[in-house]
């Protein structure tokens, strides 16, 4: 099947920028998403980008999409300790949404 891949861990200092990367293989993806999971909770949508866009900015979040390379990134500016969580990249096609394994972001004070 198609794969969504992302690194498993990222550690940054409070106030720095975090960049979480993701690659996907399904070129027919319509939407690409970033979900956030806090401990003991379900996933919550953080942001998404339509496949015909290159960039989307939403307050501290910037999503970059390189469709040619099938590469998606999430940049969190001025990372705070409350941003510590697992971040999932996902792609959707028709009735399926495929998730990466999740990147655990640790923010050190």
Contacts with other proteins by CB under 8 A lie at: 1, 4, 8, 30-31, 33, 40-45, 48, 88, 92-102
Based on CB atoms, which residue is closest to other proteins, 64 or 101?
Answer: 101
Based on CB atoms, which residue is closest to other proteins, 17 or 27?
Answer: 27
Least distance to other proteins, CB of residue 97, Å: 4
Based on CB atoms, which residue is closest to other proteins, 83 or 102?
Answer: 102
Identify which of 62, 76, 69 has the alpha carbon closest to the alpha carbon of residue 13: 76
Is the Cα torsion angle 101, 97, 73, 13 positive or negative in sign?
negative
Least distance to other proteins, CB of residue 85, Å: 14
Is the Cα torsion angle 42, 57, 82, 14 positive or negative in sign?
positive
Residues 6+ apart with CB under 8 A from 64: 54, 55, 72, 73, 75
Based on CB atoms, which residue is closest to other proteins, 25 or 31?
Answer: 31
Structure tokens at 9: 């861990």
Least distance to other proteins, CB of residue 101, Å: 4
- Separation between Cα atoms, residue 34 and residue 104, nearest integer Å: 13
Least distance to other proteins, CB of residue 96, Å: 6
């Amino acid at each position: 099947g198609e794969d969504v891949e992302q690194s498993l861990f990222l550690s940054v200092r409070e106030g720095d920028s975090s960049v979480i990367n993701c690659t996907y293989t399904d070129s027919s993806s319509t939407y690409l998403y970033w979900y956030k999971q806090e401990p003991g909770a379900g996933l919550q949508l953080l942001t998404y980008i339509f496949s015909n866009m290159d960039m989307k900015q939403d307050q501290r979040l910037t999503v970059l999409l390189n469709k040619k390379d099938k590469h998606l990134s999430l940049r969190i500016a001025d990372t705070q300790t409350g941003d510590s969580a697992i971040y999932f990249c996902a792609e959707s096609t028709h009735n399926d949404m495929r998730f990466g394994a999740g990147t655990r972001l640790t923010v050190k004070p």
